[in-house]
Amino acid sequence: MTRVEPEREMVRKALPLAVPALLVAIGVAWWLGGRDAAASAAIGVVVVFANFALYGLSLAYAARISLIVLFAVGVAGYIVRLAAVVVIILGLKQLSWFSVVAFVAALVPTTIVLLSFEIQLVAGRMQADLWQFPAGSTGVRP
């Protein structure tokens, strides 16, 4: 019996939430700020879900290599994700129609909801219990 990697499973379960999150962000932003705010908010939601999916898939890949690589990807990935959001904001800020306020107003609650969903998925389970390593593989060389 093959088990799905927990990180891939989490991404698979979270991605369907992108559509309702996108619709809510676009609707609220359009109502409060018009078309440009709605487009900015939509980009914020897409960034959150793309960021989450790429991070989850990179963790799944790293977990197949070793615990050390998994740790490195986990720590470095956090920093890279934050830097990517900052670079995206700075790049989009150059566009006349882009609204940083609408982008951040969509990004923050979407991140909180997505993290809450992630917590619900792993609640009551130790993270180490979610991984499966081949027999005799510790990821550390003697």
The C-alpha angle 12, 13, 18, rounded to 5 degrees, equals 90
Q: What is the pTM of this model?
A: 0.79
Mean pLDDT of the chain: 86
Q: Domain residue spans in the chain?
A: 6-119
Burial class of residue 39 in the structure, from the number of CB atoms within 10 Å of its CB (0-12 exposed, 13-18 middle, 19+ buried):
buried
pLDDT (0 to 100) of residue 127: 55
Token pair, residue 71, equals: 């740790």
Give the whole-angstrom CA distance, residue 111 versus residue 49.
8
Please compute, for residue 6, the number of CA atoms within 13 A of its CA located in the half-sphere on the CB side: 15
Q: What is the pLDDT of residues 70-94, one digit of tens each?
A: 889 989 988 999 999 999 999 999 9
What are the tens digits of pLDDT across the range 5-37? 778 888 898 899 999 999 999 999 999 999 999
Which residues 6+ apart lie within 8 Å of 57 measured at CB? 7, 8, 11
**CA–CA dist 123, 127 (Å, integer):** 9
Say what percent of the chain tops pLDDT 70. 83
